[in-house]
Amino acid sequence: MGLIVGLEEKLPSGFLLTTVEKLAGYMRKNSLWPATFGLACCAIEMMAAGAGRYDLARFGMEVFRASPRQADLMIVAGRVSNKMAPVVRQIYDQMAAPKWTIAMGACASSGGMFNNYAIVQGVDHIIPVYIYLPGCPPRPEMLMDAILKLHEQIGNEKLGPNREKIIKEVEAAALAAKPTHQLKGLLA
């Protein structure tokens, strides 16, 4: 089965071999459709990434969908208020599986400067996060870089028993990690 168009014609045998995992990863990473979904100032940068100057379309990943049923990438662009958290979760649940997420900016990743009762201190409290994108706000180039890095992750994702093994390893590592209340940061 040929993965690179034209390459198979140059090989003497006329075909390429690959694994189901690699083929699925290749197709998934090249058909990411983000949900149209912005929460705060970071969303302006996300919109700029899709507009003419930065032109996300160059990478074939600009098809923002208004319905979560047609999207498989959630870019959480901005701070998540406690009031908005159930809505974010509902949109995530309505998206087609397999699905991926990017926490765009300091607020979505950790609450940012809003260390208060109204803001969720990191969207990973309500949905799984695949990429944390730093910055306040991150520039459109940074968002593109994050999506390309996510492409790499998706391309190497495992399936079946291999996937279950990795999930168990990640879970064990998370359980062994230091609890966040014991971490010391700038404000501690």
Binding site for ligand SF4 (CB under 6 A): 40-42, 78-79, 105-107, 112, 136-137
Nearer to ligand SF4, 58 or 83 (CB): 83
For ligand SF4, the closer CB: 141 or 152: 141
- Rounded to a whole number of angstroms, the minimum distance from the CB of residue 45 to ligand SF4 is 7
Q: Judged by CB, which is closer to ligand SF4: 40, or 88?
A: 40
* Polymer length of the chain: 188
Nearest distance, CB of residue 67 and ligand SF4, angstroms: 24
Find out whether the peptide bond into 98 is cis, omega within 30 degrees of 0. Answer: yes
Q: How far is the CB of 106 from ligand SF4 (least distance, A)?
A: 4
Q: What is the dihedral of CA 23, 26, 28, 32, to 10 degrees?
A: -170
Nearest distance, CB of residue 22 and ligand SF4, angstroms? 36
Nearest to 39 by CA among 82, 97, 95: 82
The nearer residue to ligand SF4, 63 or 85, going by C-beta atoms, is 85
Bridge partners, residue 164, by sequence: none
Structural Rg of the chain based on CA atoms: 19
Q: How many CB atoms sit inside 10 A of residue 159's CB?
A: 14
